[in-house]
């Protein structure tokens, strides 16, 4: 099968991860255990996930000229990712994420210093416009400036390229952006925030977003799988439950990267969600964002069990 060309426009961070017995409350100091430095950032996670699962990935992002940036750039090359549009910014550091992980549940709390990610701009997207127009799928998130995301989505939409938007970190979005989205991949909280209906169910939120122009909404539900809502109706796609949940940090990013590959390969959306559920389920059994991302053979094995 030909590798689908996936373009990811987004963020790259260095993750500084500490596992602890519980996440601290405000003002509380918690003694942690395992410490890990790992490659992360929502855009980078999605790019690496897609590359490991069979995509030919082009990544559009900004890194600092510091040692974190050097390590990230070399890492992307080692994953087979096209780094022609990876910009080294001398005026801002590489993004950093401070991540606490609860040892008992795998849940996390994250603080991000955006650094060079906040300087990814419309001109950077314009420089990569030929790659976007020739892609099978464009993937974006919201750790980059909204004008930059909008420019990338407009470029893809004008060329008939499907757009996957992972709307995280969540923020209200105008209808003109939502109307460019082929598949939206929020979790339950993000779906409710985007829909502007506090306490709404995933189904209610998804239908509200369809009414604002989104073509398909896939609400991720953790181990319970995902809810797919589109013009054909509503389908719950079952997930996979593992007892040994270690770290959920990159699960949503893994899901989105996997979804992009399956869609790029020409699969229907229901199969693509099943494929993405399996990839995300494997990722939560490992510590760290990109270290947790599975290879294609692992996902295929889980799907066909």
The terminus-to-terminus CA distance of the chain in angstroms comes to 22
pLDDT at 223: 87
pLDDT band at 166 (very low <50, low <70, confident <90, very high): very high
Q: DSSP character for 224?
A: G
Q: What is the mean pLDDT of residues 203-208?
A: 96
pLDDT band at 1 (very low <50, low <70, confident <90, very high): low
List of E strands, 150-259: 163-165, 183-184, 216-220, 226-230, 233-237
The rounded mean pLDDT for the chain is: 94
CA distance 114 to 61: 12
pLDDT at 36: 85
Q: What are phi and psi of 97, to 5 degrees?
A: -120, 130
The active-site residue, picked from 82, 89, 124, 253, is 253
Count of residues in the chain: 305
The residues, ordered by sequence, that sit 6+ positions from 132 with a Cβ below 8 Å of its Cβ are 7, 9, 125, 138, 152, 155, 156, 159, 161
pLDDT band at 174 (very low <50, low <70, confident <90, very high): very high
What is the CATH T-level fold of the domain 5-303, as seen in this structure?
Answer: 3.40.1190
The enclosing H or E element of 204 equals helix 202-211
pLDDT at 247: 81
Query: CA of 87: how far to CAs of 65, 237, 253, 262, 288, in Å?
Result: 9, 38, 22, 28, 24
pLDDT at 226: 97
Here the tokens at position 53 are: 């699962």
For residue 267, pLDDT beyond 90: yes
pLDDT band at 99 (very low <50, low <70, confident <90, very high): confident
Q: For 242, what's the count of Cα atoms within 13 Å in the CB-facing half-sphere?
A: 19
pLDDT band at 248 (very low <50, low <70, confident <90, very high): confident
CA distance 1 to 204: 38
3-class state of residue 43 by DSSP: helix
Q: What is the pTM of this model?
A: 0.93
In the chain, where are the structural domains located? 5-303
Q: What is the mean pLDDT of residues 227-238?
A: 95
pLDDT at 202: 94
pLDDT band at 246 (very low <50, low <70, confident <90, very high): confident
253 is catalytic: yes
């Amino acid at each position: 099968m030909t590798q689908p060309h996936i373009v990811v426009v987004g963020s790259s961070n260095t993750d500084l991860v500490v596992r602890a017995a519980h996440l601290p409350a405000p003002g509380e100091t918690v003694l942690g255990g395992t410490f890990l430095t790992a490659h992360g950032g929502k855009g980078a996670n999605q790019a690496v996930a897609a590359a490991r699962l069979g995509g030919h990935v082009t990544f559009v992002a900004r890194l600092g000229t510091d040692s974190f940036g050097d390590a990230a750039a070399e890492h992307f090359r080692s994953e087979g990712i096209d780094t022609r549009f990876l910009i080294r910014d001398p005026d801002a550091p590489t993004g950093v994420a401070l991540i606490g992980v609860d040892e008992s549940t795998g849940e996390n709390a994250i603080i991000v210093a955006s650094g060079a990610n906040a300087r990814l701009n419309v001109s950077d997207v314009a420089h990569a416009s030929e790659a976007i127009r020739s892609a099978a799928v464009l993937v974006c998130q919201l750790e980059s400036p909204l004008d930059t995301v909008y420019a990338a989505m407009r470029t893809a939409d004008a060329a008939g390229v499907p757009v996957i938007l992972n709307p995280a970190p969540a923020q209200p979005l105008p209808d003109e952006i939502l109307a460019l989205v082929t598949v939206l991949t929020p979790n339950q909280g993000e779906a409710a925030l985007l829909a502007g209906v506090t306490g709404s169910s995933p189904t209610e939120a998804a239908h509200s977003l369809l009414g604002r122009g989104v073509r398909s909404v896939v609400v991720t539900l953790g181990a319970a799988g995902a809810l797919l809502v589109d013009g054909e109706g509503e389908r719950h796609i079952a997930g996979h439950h593992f007892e040994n949940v270690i770290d959920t940090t990159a699960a949503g990013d893994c899901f989105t990267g996997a979804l992009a590959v399956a869609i790029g390969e020409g699969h229907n959306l229901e199969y693509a969600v099943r494929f993405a559920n399996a990839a995300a389920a494997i990722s939560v059994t490992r510590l760290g964002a990109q270290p947790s991302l599975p290879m294609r053979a692992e996902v295929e094995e889980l799907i066909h069990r």
